Structure 1
Amino acid sequence: MRIKSIGEALLGTVSAPAPRKGSASPRLDEHEFKRRFLSQFKDGAFQPLKTELDRIADAAWDAYLHERKSPETRKAGPGYADPDYELAVDWIAAKEAIEAAQAHHEDPGGPLRVLLINGSSRSEHTCPSELSKSWRLCQMARETLEQDGFRVEFLDLSHLASEYGRHIHPCKACFSTAAALCHWPCSCYPNYSLGQTQDMMNDIYPKWVEAHGVMIVTPVNWYSPSSPIKLMMDRLVCADGGNPDPSLTHGKEAEQAKREELKGWSYPRHLKGRLFSVIVHGDVEGAENVRRGLADWMRFMHMESAGPAAELDRYIGYWKPYATSHDELDRDRDIQEEVRNAARTLGEALRAQRAGRLHQSGQTLDDPRPK
C-alpha cells in the first residue's frame, strides 16, 4: 500500500484497497428479531401489556430493518471537514463533554484531578454478595489522595454488573480497518437499530480527559485484566490516534477512511502526558503480566508512569481459600501501605509535573513509527 504521488495526496485522490468482504451476515428475519426483542419482558407484570409490547416490537423491527443507527442528527457546522454532514446528536454531546473536560484539565488554577478506577466486577449488590478487595484498596488510595488535597473521581466498574442500564459495548475494531474510521469519541454507539444503547463510555471519556493522573486497581481474572477493564481499554483505542472529525470520513465510509490514512495520518494522542499508577492483585498467578500489560498500554498512549512505586503487582492470600481472602487482606498490612505509597507517589509526581519539575527524556523526539 502506498501513495501514488504527492499530487494525488494533495488532491485527496490517494488509491486505497477496497474493504475486504465475505463473512456471513448476522441479519435476522422478523420472527427471530421480535422473539429476541420480546424476551426481555418475561416478567408477569408485562403480561397485561402484550398488545402495547407487540406494537413497540413492530416499531423496533422497522428501525432494525431500515438500519436507523442514529435517528437524531444535526449538521456538523463550521470547523468540520464537511459542515453539511449530519452528525448524531449523541456524538455531539459526547464531544462537547470532552471539550469541557479538556478545559478543566488545562486550567492551571484548578485542582489536580485523579481518576481512580475499580476494575473488579464483584460487589455485595449482586450475585457474589460481597464487595471486592479491589474496592477496598481503592478506598485506601482515595483516602490518601484526598487527604493530600487531590480531587478524586471514583469510577466503580462493578456497576456494570450490578446497576440497571450500565453497559460498555465491545469495540468494533474500526481502527484496524483504517485509523480515520475510529472516531474520537467513539461514534459506534449508541446504535438504536441494534438495541446497542445505554453505553457507559460517553460518561467515561470525559473522566479520562479531565484527569491529570489515573490510578487503576484491578484483580487478575484468568491471567488477564477483569472484563470491565478490558472492555474500557478496547473502547479507549479512539483516545490514541482517533479521528476527531467524523465528517472527514462521512461517518463509517471505510474506503474513504483508508484514503485518509494513506495520505499520512497524524495519530493524535488525546491523553498524552497524563500520569498513571496501576495496582494489580491476584491469588495464584498472572499479576505481574497483567500489571505490565496495563502499564505498557498506557505508555503506548503516551501517558507517563508516576514512578516504580506507583506500579504494583501483589498476591493476597496466595493459594489460600477464597472464602478467607478478605481476612488475608486485613492481615497484609504491607500491601495496604504499598497501595497508599503508590497513591502518594502519583500525587508527588502530579505536583512535580504542574510545577514543571517532572521531565521525561525523549518527549520532544519524533516517533518514527506512529500508530
Structure 2
Amino acid sequence: MNIPDDEERLKPHPHDHRPFRVLLVAGSQRRLNSCPGLDSKARALMHRMAARMPLGWQVDLEDLGNEHGRPKIQACNGCVSSSMALCVWPCNCYGPDSDHQPDLLWNLHLYERLARSDAWAFIGPINWYGPTTSFKLLFDRLVCMNGGNPRPDLIEKKNTLMAQALERSPQWRDLSRNHLEGRTAAFFCYSDLGAKDLGPDGRPKLLKHKEWFEPGDEPYRNEREAYQALVWQCRYSGIEVPDCLWQCATIGVDRLYSDDQADSLIQEGSALATFDAWVDRFCAHVEQKGLIGDVLDAERRARSTTQ
C-alpha cells in the first residue's frame, strides 16, 4: 500500500476547486424526542453556528444526544494498551449496522465525516467538571487516529500476538501515522457555575458536611479547562487547536435548571456575543489556513473494514 509523503499529504491547498468542509457537533446528552423532552442548548448553538458559516461552505451537522432506542457510541476496548498495532484505524472493534453491538459512531459514519472535513467544531456543556459522556466516548474511540494500524490484514483483524510482533518490526515505522493530522478543531463549552445549587459560601446548599468541600480547591480557575483532555488529545494527534478557538462561556448562572433552557438563550447576551465571536474566529482561521489536501483518500481510508 502506497502512503503519500506526509509533507505533501498535509500541505494546505488554498486554491483547490472544492468548497471548505466543516463538521459541527453538538455533544449534550439531551434530545427533544426523548426524555427529558426538551432540546439542548448545544444543539441550538450548533444551528446558530451553522447560520454564520460563509456562503458556499459545506456544513455537516451532528447531534450526539442520547435518544431512546438509538445506538450509543460503544466504549473503547483499550486495544492500544496491548499493542499500538492492535488499535486499528479506523476502529474495527465495532462496525456499522451491527445487530449485536450497534455503535452510533459507525452508524453515523463519523470516521469518514471527520476525515473529509477541513475543520471540526465541538459544542457542549460541562458535566461534573468535564466533558459530556457523548464527547468522552467519541474521543476515547478516536485513539486510533493517533498512530493506529491501517493494515488489519497484517494481524488477521485482531490477533494480539501478531500485533505485538508487528509493533516491534521495522515495518511498523512505515505504517503508524496520525491519520487526521493537519485539520483544525475548535471547542466551545458552557457552564452554569453550579446554578442555584450553591450557597453564599460557595458550597452546595444540600451538603451536611460542608467542611468536606473546599471551594478554593475546585479543579479549574478557567472553566474551559474542563475540556482540556479533548483539546490535548487533538494536539497530540496533529490536530490544530489554537487557543483562540478553545472557549467557555457562562450560561444560566444563579438560575433554577427549569429556567435555563434553549429558549432562554436569548437572555444570555454576553454568552451569545462570546459564542458568535468564537464562530467568527473559527471561520477566519479555517479560511486563512486553506483546504486540507488529500481528503478523498483520507475519507476512503476511514471506511469500515469490519463486515
TM interval, shorter chain, is 0.7 to 0.9
Of 139, 155, 158, 1:233 maps to: 139
Considering Cα pairs closer than 8 Å and 6+ residues apart, tell me whether 1 or 2 has the greater RCO: 2
Measured after TM superposition, the shift of residue 168 of structure 1 is 1.2
Structure 1: how far apart are the matches of 2:55 and 2:160?
48
Return the letter of the residue paired with 1:303.
I
Gap regions ≥5 residues in structure 1:
1-78, 81-101, 357-371
Given the two structures, how large is their TM-score scaled by the length of structure 1? Answer: 0.62
For residues 31 and 235 of structure 2, the distance between their equivalents in structure 1, rounded to whole angstroms, comes to 30
Which whole-Å deviations, capped at 9, do the CAs of 1:252-284 have from their partners, x for residues lacking one?
A: 111111121122544311110101110011112
Note the aligned Cα RMSD (angstroms).
2.7
| Aligned: 1:144 with 2:144 | no
Checking the alignment, whether the CA contact within 8 Å between 1:168 and 1:200 is kept in structure 2 is yes
Aligned twin of 1:282? 191
| Alignment partners' CA distance in 2, 1:123 and 1:355 | 33
SS in 1 for 2:46: helix
1:324-339, aligned counterparts within 5 Å? Answer: 324-326=259-261, 329-339=265-275
- Name the residue aligned to 1:123: 31
Alpha-carbon contact 2:96-2:106 (below 8 Å) kept:
no
Given that 1:208 and 1:214 are in contact with CA atoms closer than 8 Å, whether structure 2 keeps it comes out as yes
Q: Does structure 1 retain, via aligned residues, the 8 Å contact 2:182–2:238? A: yes
User: 1:104-155: CA deviations, max 9, x gaps?
Assistant: x98921110110000011022111111111111111111111x444211001
Q: Is the 8 A contact 1:140 1:336 kept in 2?
A: no
CA distance in 1 between partners of 2:71 and 2:291 (Å): 38
Q: Which residue of 2 aligns with 1:175?
A: 80
Any gaps of 5 or more consecutive residues in structure 2?
Answer: 3-8, 195-219, 293-307
- 1:273 and 1:129, CA in 2 relative to 1: closer, same or farther beyond 3 A? same
Structure-2 separation of matches of 1:343 and 1:164 = 33
Q: Residues 245 and 355 from structure 1, CA distance in 2 versus in 1: closer, same or farther, beyond 3 angstroms?
A: closer
1:234 alignment partner AA: D
What does 1:304-319 correspond to in 2, within 5 Å? Answer: 304-305=240-241, 307-319=242-254
Task: State the distance in 1 between where 2:98 and 2:28 align.
Answer: 31
Contact 1:181 1:252 in 2 (8 A): yes
Bigger radius of gyration: 1
Kindly report which structure 2 residues correspond to 1:43-122, keeping only aligned pairs within 5 A, or say none.
Answer: 79=1, 108-122=16-30
CA-CA distance at 1:324 after TM superposition: 0.9
Are the equivalent residues in 1 in contact too, given 2:130–2:226 (CA < 8 A)?
A: yes
8 Å Cα contact 2:20/2:291 also seen in 1:
no
Structure-2 separation of matches of 1:151 and 1:241: 28
The 8 Å contact of residues 201 and 232 in structure 1, kept in 2 or not, is answered as: no
Residue 115 of structure 2 corresponds to residue 209 of structure 1 = yes
Over residues 140-194 of structure 1, what are the superposed CA-to-partner deviations in whole Å (9 max), with x where a residue is unaligned? 111111x444211001111xx2264432111111111101101111111149999
Q: Is the 8 A contact 1:189 1:196 kept in 2?
A: yes
- Decide whether aligned partners of structure 1 residues 113 and 194 sit closer, same or farther in structure 2, where only a CA change above 3 A counts: closer
Looking at structure 2, the residues matched to 255 and 355 of structure 1 have their Cα atoms a distance apart, in angstroms, of: 40
8 Å contact from structure 2 (residues 75, 141) kept in 1: yes
Give the TM-score normalised by the residue count of structure 2.
0.74
**Compared CA separation, residues 163 and 204, structure 1 to 2 (3 A):** farther
Residues 26 and 123 of structure 2 are in contact (CA less than 8 Å); yes or no, is this contact kept in structure 1? Answer: yes
Q: Cα–Cα, structure 1 residues 150 and 246, in superposed 2: closer, same or farther, change >3 Å?
A: same
Q: Which residue of 1 aligns with 2:283?
A: 347
The one-letter code of the counterpart of 2:192 is: D
CA distance in 2, matches of 1:169, 1:220: 21
Does the residue aligned with 2:52 lie in a helix, a strand or coil?
Answer: helix
Residue of structure 1 equivalent to 2:204: none
Deviations 1:32-55 (A, max 9, x none): xxxxxxxxxxxxxxxxxxxxxxxx
8 Å CA contact 1:133, 1:329 repeated in 2: yes
Equivalent-residue separation in structure 2 for 1:193 and 1:272 (angstroms)? 29
The structural deviation recorded for 1:321 is: 1.0
**What amino acid maps onto 1:118 in structure 2?**
A
Match in the other structure for 2:90: 185
Does 2:203 match 1:294?
no
Q: Within the alignment, does 1:270 sit opposite 2:179 as a pair?
A: yes
1:181, 1:253 within 8 Å by CA — same for their partners in 2? yes
Note closer, same or farther for the CA distance 1:199–1:116 as it changes in structure 2 (3 Å cut): closer
Q: Flag the structure with higher helix content.
A: 1
